[in-house]
Structure formats: C-alpha cells, structure tokens
Chain A
Amino acid sequence: AQSVSQHNHHVILSEAASLELGCNYSYGGTVNLFWYVQYPGQHLQLLLKYFSGDPLVKGIKGFEAEFIKSKFSFNLRKPSVQWSDTAEYFCAVNNYNQGGKLIFGQGTELSVKP
C-alpha cells in the first residue's frame, strides 16, 4: 500500500534558524505532491504543490520544496523561520493514476521559539 513518511514528529527551532522537513513516499508512479499546514486553531491549508516541471517549487510565506524523483522525496525548506511559522506540517501524495487517493503523512509539529 502507498504510504507517506515524515521523518520528524516534532521540531523545535529558534527564530532565524533554517528549516528542512523530510517527506518520503512509497509509490513509484506519477504523483502530485503537496505540503499542507495547520496553524494553531485554524484549518488545514495548502502551503505548496508540485504537479510537473521544475522540481523546486515555491509556496507561500517563503517556503519551498524540492522533488527528487530518484529518492521518492519532497522535502520542505525555509531559510529563516519566524515565530509565526509555528504550526503542524503535513506532506501529502496523490497518485491520480491509481484511484486518485490523496494520502497524508503523520505530520511534523514545528515550534519556533522567539
């Protein structure tokens, strides 16, 4: 069965530190890739997405992610985090050629200390 793995359950950083959250998936076919974010008390929302083309995609609030097909990875990065980035981050993979189910990782909770 297809699965999505996020490497870190909880990450704690100080403001201005760099961030990289790992995401790996198990499916070998054509996929669409997403990072969703849930700020405290808010609903899940899209941070960035990859469908095709340039494997380095940019999202909102200075986030970016790189799709490395050979490694089945889609890691999220930000050069300098802010306190307002404190949230839970979910990687998700959509294998639209195989039924189209969007599968989420277990999430990474990011805490940024001011």
Chain B
Amino acid sequence: EAGVVQSPRYKIIEKKQPVAFWCNPISGHNTLYWYLQNLGQGPELLIRYENEEAVDDSQLPKDRFSAERLKGVDSTLKIQPAELGDSAVYLCASSPVASGRAGGGELFFGEGSRLTVL
C-alpha cells in the first residue's frame, strides 16, 4: 500500500516569495491534515479536512496561508508571501477515521516538506 506522498521534499526560497506544497493521501482516507513542525517541537495542526471540507482551520494563518483539497483527494498548502519565520517542516497526514470521532487519531504521515526561507 502506498503511503502519504508529499512534494517537494525540500524548498529554499527568499522571503516574500510564494511557495506551494502538495500532498497525496493514502487511498480511501477521507481525512487529511496539514501540520507544521518547527525544529525541536512537536507537530502543530494547521488544517484538517474531511473530504473537501475544512473542518478545523483555526490555527491556519489566513493572511498568508491557504489550503485546498479539491475533489477530496489531493491537497495543496500555499504560503504567499513567505516570511523568515515560516522556515519549518510541513507535514501532511491522512487517516481512515477522523480524529474528531471515537477511535480516531491514528495518523499516517508523509515524509514532510522542509522549507527554508532566506
């Protein structure tokens, strides 16, 4: 079974430039998550989708971050414009049971996209 696929694995950009990350979840997983992981910290939720619907985007900085999950499968996370403080690893995960339901919370993670903003 193929895992969660993310691209690009690494991205270096200058501040104020835009950047986009792509995620393909495990087939059949309706719930998709984007997490942010800073160095030495645990992952922090940015947004959670159930199918096409963003059910929790309370931690997404909406002034510069946007996300979409068209057709309820692949997802894209965009930052425009990027700031120095956005340097981090952006993790995508999917799950067969939404974390908002009993039995949920078991997430399958991709390898992450490491962003460096210069």
Contacts and interface: CB of A to CB of B under 8 A. Distances in A.
B100 A100 contact: yes
Interface in B95-118: 98-112
B45 interface: yes
B105 A94 contact: yes
A51 B103 contact: yes
Nearest to A34: B105
Interface size class of chain B, counting residues whose CB lies under 8 Å from the partner chain: 20 to 34
Given A43-B111, A102-B99, A32 B105 contact: yes
A107 B97 CA distance: 24
A42 B109 CA distance: 10
B81 interface: no
Interface in A53-103: 90, 92, 94, 96, 99-103
A100 B98 contact: yes
Tell me the dominant secondary structure on chain B's binding face.
loop
A44 B91 contact: yes
A27 interface: no
Contacts of B42: 4, 90, 92, 104-107
A44 B101 contact: no
B43 A90 contact: yes
A36 B98 CA distance: 17
B53 interface: no
Given A43-B109, A43-B111, A101-B56, A94 B43 contact: no
B14 interface: no
Contact of B104 (A9, A32, A44, A106): A32
B100 A96 contact: yes
A18 interface: no
Contacts of A51: 102-103
Contact of A104 (B3, B43, B56): B43
4 nearest CB pairs, A to B: A100-B100, A104-B42, A94-B105, A44-B109
